[in-house]
Amino acid sequence: MNISYFDDSRITEKTIKSKITKLGQYRQEIRENMEENNSDVPEYSLYYPKDFTLHSNITELAKTYKNIKHLVVIGIGGSNLGTEAIHQVLDEGKVKLSVLDTVSAYNLAVLLDELKKYKKATQLTICIISKSGSTTETLSNASVLIEELKHHFGEEINQQLIFIGDPKTEVEKYAKKISAHYVAMPKIIGGRYSVATAVGLIPLALLGHDTDEFISGYLDASKDEYETITAENSARLALYLQNKYHHYNFFAFEPRLEKLGEWYRQLFAESLGKETTKNGKPVKDAMLPTISTPVELHSVGQLYFSKITTVYTDFVTFDDEKFDFKTTKSNKLASGLKNLSLQEIVTGLYGGVIGAYQERELPYRATILDESLPYSLGLFMGMRLREIMYTANLMDVNAFDQPNVELYKIKTKEILKI
Amino acid sequence: MNISYFDDSRITEKTIKSKITKLGQYRQEIRENMEENNSDVPEYSLYYPKDFTLHSNITELAKTYKNIKHLVVIGIGGSNLGTEAIHQVLDEGKVKLSVLDTVSAYNLAVLLDELKKYKKATQLTICIISKSGSTTETLSNASVLIEELKHHFGEEINQQLIFIGDPKTEVEKYAKKISAHYVAMPKIIGGRYSVATAVGLIPLALLGHDTDEFISGYLDASKDEYETITAENSARLALYLQNKYHHYNFFAFEPRLEKLGEWYRQLFAESLGKETTKNGKPVKDAMLPTISTPVELHSVGQLYFSKITTVYTDFVTFDDEKFDFKTTKSNKLASGLKNLSLQEIVTGLYGGVIGAYQERELPYRATILDESLPYSLGLFMGMRLREIMYTANLMDVNAFDQPNVELYKIKTKEILKI
């Protein structure tokens, strides 16, 4: 993983070091918990994939469903964003992924049309993922989809359902009642930290992706080499927050990383977006994360480059040499492009944008994923989970709760009388 | 169109009125230009679709290509966002839309695979849209795609190409040379203001959408009834900017409006995101626009509801009664949902979110598109174009240029030596 930085002049080596010093105790705590394989702390997510049961579950399910054509994931937030992020990068058209996240009768109707074209139920698998077992959106989507598919394919559809969530919820009971698969996730691991549990790994295995490579990268994020970089990155995040930066721009320069941006955005916003510190003091620093791709150079780009507001930018990209096309001068449209290939043009664009950021003194960090993609994604996600925990520690906020989202849920339930 | 407001207590009727007064002269100017059908001012976009040549062009092309299965739009920013926004709402699966915007060899390879499965060139149409005729991304994508399709389908592919852009560019010359269609757009109308020119209307007609209804809504945005609302909305935007709101959240509560959010985001960011006023004074107020759907209630929602930063929210939605599904208590997963239908649940969610915004005193405006969708979209887009012009006028910035995006283009060309 190649990472470079271009910092605001107020973010100095000295200020970074001082933040890193503050992290000392927390880093030590995590190190000890990891050595003891402590499963009672929320940081368990960082080393959980060593778990042996998880691996045998994955292998077994991947074998059972190895010939499917289409996987539907029903889940929202932490239950689907990790899977979507990884699949968007690794997708080679082997198994199609569809997601039902929020409630939309239109989306459900379109998906049903598509699923009913399959001849046999065994060409499909449906993963129903709800940590709490009570997510309104997921239960609504799942119950309707299952009833409709049962009507079409008969009871055998039950064998194509995999339920994933905390143990002892209504969902587990239901799965057992209809003799469908149920896989537990560890209760202590929050939804947005769950990509390397059954929540992410089972769908990814069913999609035909290399979960071993992914896990290997994910666990390497705890190695000294990467852990040190992560501590530095957290120090920077805390400093940009403290220096009143308002915006955080995840810039997926390779457009297939856009959903990785959505995954990180949730992690960032839910973990750091807190009203009060652990001691009840009001939090005053906030960056709102947004996502860009090079398409936005022709959209929000003008605003970014105008420098009228403060944005910390997070460029993430990878080189993909599998595909390329040469422009040919013989096509007069491309006569100015001097036979350059599309990859060369992309590289030029990237250099041009980075150069413009430097000239305008717009701070950024830039990450290039330069090892095998499943490994790189595992490493990246493992590092980012840890980075957010460290940053929350520096801000003295709880990285693991989401207290303010209850209000709209309560109001919704009042309206619906449920 | 049903619009309601919930304002920050500092945004009072008095402050709104005072802003509206300041708009008086500009509104009068536009009114006069409209009466004279003045085609020399950038506000021409607001009444341009009355143009007769445009209508006959659309009708003729729609007839020629009425049996196509797949439309490819090659264009970026203002050249494709409007089409995508409208198609996402109106799509009924008649003609498939693919877009090539930024340069991505991977995306191009995937699209080519798909296009080569068609038996005849006449099943496809390719719209190549570049206002300046020199957009690097568009020329790269177009030249490669055309060469590849020519190789596959032969010269007859030229009859399936439609070039759209300013007159007298290299693109027009090329189109004429290969005897392909070329349709001019008015030079005075900027890319982000061009949805109701050939740029948006020709692709939409080819996709089978009702452009007459769309234009009728678009032109109605100039009627007193809607123009007055627009002036008020601009006053509000200017006031939120002045009161140091940092974030603007386009909340597409109906997920099919997400791309409408992308269209508005470009319009907003490129028009208002200026370093200096027309008189060269530094601009100090900026909101960075972002887009949400109800999926983000499980992601950025926590940060929004925490109220630790200032966000002005723009809810946009519509009711769609074409599709619905009932949850049934007999499916034990849904036993808590009391046989509610998915539409009822969505309505409950919307009410719950609006209620939570009010209780947390988070300011918003909420728009419900309640007439025929092509008409509503035309009206909405016409109103929003005007709103941004008015807001720029209140901020004393130029709504029609984008001076800061040249830098990365220059640097890119230096690197590529083109």
Mean pLDDT score across all residues of chain B: 97
**Contact yes or no for B269 and A345 at CB 8 A:** no
Q: Does B265 touch chain A (CB under 8 A)?
A: yes
Distance of alpha carbon B123 from alpha carbon B385, whole angstroms: 34
Q: Judge whether A11 lies within some domain.
A: yes
Across residues B171-200, what is the average pLDDT? 97
Furthest-apart CA pair in chain B: how many Å? 68
Q: Does A112 lie in the same domain as A128?
A: yes
Q: Judge whether A35 lies within some domain.
A: no
Q: Judge whether B409 lies within some domain.
A: no
Choose among B81, B71, B172, B83: nearest CA to B114: B71
In this structure, the strands spanning A161-165 and B311-318 are unpaired
Confidence band of B251 (pLDDT split at 50, 70, 90): very high
pLDDT at B53 over 90: no
Of B209, B235, B265, the domain-final residue: B209
- Chain B residue numbers with beta carbons less than 8 Å from the beta carbon of A322 are 106
**Contact yes or no for B338 and A417 at CB 8 A:** yes
Distance of alpha carbon B105 from alpha carbon B27, whole angstroms: 46
Distance of alpha carbon B97 from alpha carbon B87, whole angstroms: 8
**Contact yes or no for A418 and B76 at CB 8 A:** no
Exposure on the CB side of residue A312, measured as CA atoms within 13 A: 23
Range of the domain at A319: 2-29+216-403
Burial class (CB in 10 A: 0-12, 13-18, 19+), A396: middle
Distance of alpha carbon A358 from alpha carbon A354, whole angstroms: 6
Residue A399 near residue A271, CB atoms below 8 Å: yes
Least confident of A329-338, B43-52, B262-271, B296-305: A329-338
Distance of alpha carbon B204 from alpha carbon B55, whole angstroms: 13
Q: Does A313 lie in the same domain as A249?
A: yes
Q: Does B263 touch chain A (CB under 8 A)?
A: no
In this prediction, residue A231 carries a pLDDT of 98
**Contact yes or no for A143 and B290 at CB 8 A:** no
**Contact yes or no for A288 and B294 at CB 8 A:** no
Q: Does A305 touch chain B (CB under 8 A)?
A: yes
Least confident of A280-294, B43-57, B193-207, B290-304: B43-57
Residue B365 near residue B4, CB atoms below 8 Å: yes
Residue position matching structure tokens 């239908």:
B341
pLDDT at B51 over 90: no
Residue type, A323: F
Distance of alpha carbon A177 from alpha carbon A175, whole angstroms: 5
pLDDT of chain A along its 418 residues, tens only?
Answer: 999 999 999 999 999 999 999 999 999 999 999 999 999 999 999 999 998 889 999 999 999 999 999 999 999 999 999 999 999 999 999 999 999 999 999 999 999 999 999 999 999 999 999 999 999 999 999 999 999 999 999 999 999 999 999 999 999 999 999 999 999 999 999 999 999 999 999 999 999 999 999 999 999 999 999 999 999 999 999 999 999 999 999 999 999 999 999 999 999 999 999 999 999 999 999 999 999 999 999 999 999 999 999 999 999 999 988 999 999 888 899 899 999 999 999 999 999 999 999 999 999 999 999 999 999 999 999 999 999 999 999 999 999 999 999 999 999 999 999 9
Distance from the Cα of residue B338 to its chain's centroid: 39
Q: Is the ipTM of this complex over 0.85?
A: yes
A373 contact partners, CB below 8 Å, separation of at least 6: A89, A90, A318
Distance of alpha carbon B288 from alpha carbon B200, whole angstroms: 25
Q: Does A16 touch chain B (CB under 8 A)?
A: no
B134 contact partners, CB below 8 Å, separation of at least 6: A336, B169, B170
**Contact yes or no for B77 and A299 at CB 8 A:** yes
Q: Does B198 lie in the same domain as B49?
A: yes
Q: Does A159 touch chain B (CB under 8 A)?
A: no
pLDDT tens track for A55-100 = 999 999 999 999 999 999 999 999 999 999 999 999 999 999 999 9
In this prediction, residue B156 carries a pLDDT of 95
In this prediction, residue B321 carries a pLDDT of 85
Choose among A60, A94, A69: nearest CA to A208: A94
Q: Does A412 touch chain B (CB under 8 A)?
A: yes
Which element (helix H / strand E) includes B76?
none
Residue B300 near residue A288, CB atoms below 8 Å: yes
- Tally of CB atoms within 10 A around B45: 24
Of B139, B307, B360, the CB nearest to A337: B139
Mutation site, A263, A298, A323, interface B, largest B CB count within 10 A: A298
Distance of residue B374 Cα from the nearest chain A Cα, in angstroms = 17
Distance of alpha carbon A61 from alpha carbon A71, whole angstroms: 13
Ranges assigned E (strand) in B87-123: 96-100
- Chain A residue numbers with beta carbons less than 8 Å from the beta carbon of B275 are 306-308
Does residue A131 sit in helix, strand or coil? coil
Of B142, B308, B407, the CB nearest to A360: B407
Q: What is the CATH classification number for the domain harbouring B73?
A: 3.40.50.10490
Q: Judge whether B127 lies within some domain.
A: yes
- Chain A residue numbers with beta carbons less than 8 Å from the beta carbon of B103 are 294, 342, 345-346, 349
Distance of alpha carbon A259 from alpha carbon A119, whole angstroms: 31
Q: Does B359 touch chain A (CB under 8 A)?
A: yes
- Chain A residue numbers with beta carbons less than 8 Å from the beta carbon of B307 are 275
Q: Does A94 touch chain B (CB under 8 A)?
A: no
Of A302, A328, A332, the CB nearest to B269: A302
Q: Judge whether B418 lies within some domain.
A: no
Q: Judge whether B410 lies within some domain.
A: no
Distance of alpha carbon A124 from alpha carbon A115, whole angstroms: 8
Distance of alpha carbon A289 from alpha carbon B303, whole angstroms: 10
Of B255, B337, B408, the CB nearest to A139: B337
Q: Does B134 touch chain A (CB under 8 A)?
A: yes
Q: Does A164 lie in the same domain as A47?
A: yes
Helices (H), B12-80: 13-35, 52-64
Cα end-to-end span (Å), chain B: 49
Q: Does A234 lie in the same domain as A115?
A: no
Distance of alpha carbon B39 from alpha carbon B51, whole angstroms: 10
CA angle A257, A258, A264 (to 5 degrees): 90
Q: Does A415 touch chain B (CB under 8 A)?
A: yes
Written as six digits, the tokens of B100 are 């090539």
Q: Does B399 lie in the same domain as B251?
A: yes
**Contact yes or no for B299 and A81 at CB 8 A:** yes
Q: Does A257 lie in the same domain as A331?
A: yes
In this prediction, residue A53 carries a pLDDT of 87
pLDDT tens track for B141-160 = 999 999 999 999 999 999 99
Across residues B33-56, what is the average pLDDT? 95
Radius of gyration of chain B (CA): 23
In this prediction, residue A131 carries a pLDDT of 97
In this prediction, residue A254 carries a pLDDT of 98
Q: Does B191 lie in the same domain as B94?
A: yes
Residue B371 near residue B210, CB atoms below 8 Å: no
Of A209, A239, A270, the domain-final residue: A209
Q: Does A269 lie in the same domain as A301?
A: yes
Please state, for a pLDDT cut of 70, what percent of chain B lies above it.
Answer: 100
Q: Does A77 lie in the same domain as A19?
A: no
Ranges assigned E (strand) in A46-175: 70-74, 96-100, 124-129, 161-165
Distance from the Cα of residue A396 to its chain's centroid: 23
Of A209, A244, A265, the domain-final residue: A209
Q: Judge whether A409 lies within some domain.
A: no
- Chain A residue numbers with beta carbons less than 8 Å from the beta carbon of B107 are 255
Residue A97 near residue A73, CB atoms below 8 Å: yes
**For chain B, how many structural domains are there in total?**
2
Q: Does B115 lie in the same domain as B75?
A: yes
Q: Does A117 touch chain B (CB under 8 A)?
A: no
Written as six digits, the tokens of B264 are 């508005």
In this prediction, residue A311 carries a pLDDT of 98
pLDDT tens track for A195-222 = 999 999 999 999 999 999 999 999 999 9
- Chain B residue numbers with beta carbons less than 8 Å from the beta carbon of A269 are 299-303
Q: Does B119 touch chain A (CB under 8 A)?
A: no
Q: Does B251 lie in the same domain as B193?
A: no
**Contact yes or no for A418 and B136 at CB 8 A:** no
In this prediction, residue B26 carries a pLDDT of 98
**Contact yes or no for B147 and A331 at CB 8 A:** yes
**Contact yes or no for B140 and A337 at CB 8 A:** yes
Q: What length does chain B have?
A: 418
B399 contact partners, CB below 8 Å, separation of at least 6: B42, B271, B272, B388, B389, B391, B392, B393
- Chain B residue numbers with beta carbons less than 8 Å from the beta carbon of A411 are 351-353, 355-356, 359
In this prediction, residue A329 carries a pLDDT of 86
Across residues B317-334, what is the average pLDDT? 92
Furthest-apart CA pair in chain A: how many Å? 68
Q: Does B247 touch chain A (CB under 8 A)?
A: yes
Q: Which residues pair with B182 in a beta bridge?
A: B163
The torsion region of residue A327 among left (phi > 0), alpha (psi -120 to 50) and beta comes to beta
In this prediction, residue A159 carries a pLDDT of 97
Radius of gyration of chain A (CA): 23
Residue of B nearest to A322 (CA): B106
Instruction: Please name the residues between 198 and 237 in chain A that touch chain B, using a CB distance below 8 Å.
Output: none
Distances (CA, A) of A408 to A78, B100, B302: 18, 38, 11
- Chain A residue numbers with beta carbons less than 8 Å from the beta carbon of B411 are 351-353, 355-356, 359
DSSP string of B323-371? ---B--TTSGGGGGGTT-BHHHHHHHHHHHHHHHHHHTT--EEEEEE-S
Instruction: Please name the residues between 327 and 356 in chain A that touch chain B, using a CB distance below 8 Å.
Output: 327-328, 331-338, 340-349, 351-353, 355-356
- Chain B residue numbers with beta carbons less than 8 Å from the beta carbon of A190 are none
Distance of alpha carbon A238 from alpha carbon A391, whole angstroms: 6
Choose among A66, A377, A371: nearest CA to A196: A377
Please state, for a pLDDT cut of 90, what percent of chain B lies above it.
Answer: 97
Of A103, A308, A322, the CB nearest to B286: A308
Q: Is the dihedral of CA B291, B294, B296, B297 positive or negative?
A: positive
Residue position matching structure tokens 């503050």:
A22
Residue B297 near residue B350, CB atoms below 8 Å: no
Q: Does B98 touch chain A (CB under 8 A)?
A: no
pLDDT at B277 over 90: yes
Residue B263 near residue B81, CB atoms below 8 Å: yes
Q: Does B275 touch chain A (CB under 8 A)?
A: yes
Distance of alpha carbon B229 from alpha carbon A331, whole angstroms: 49
Distance from the Cα of residue A375 to its chain's centroid: 15
Q: Does A91 touch chain B (CB under 8 A)?
A: no
Q: Judge whether B317 lies within some domain.
A: yes
Choose among A89, A360, A64, A7: nearest CA to A183: A64
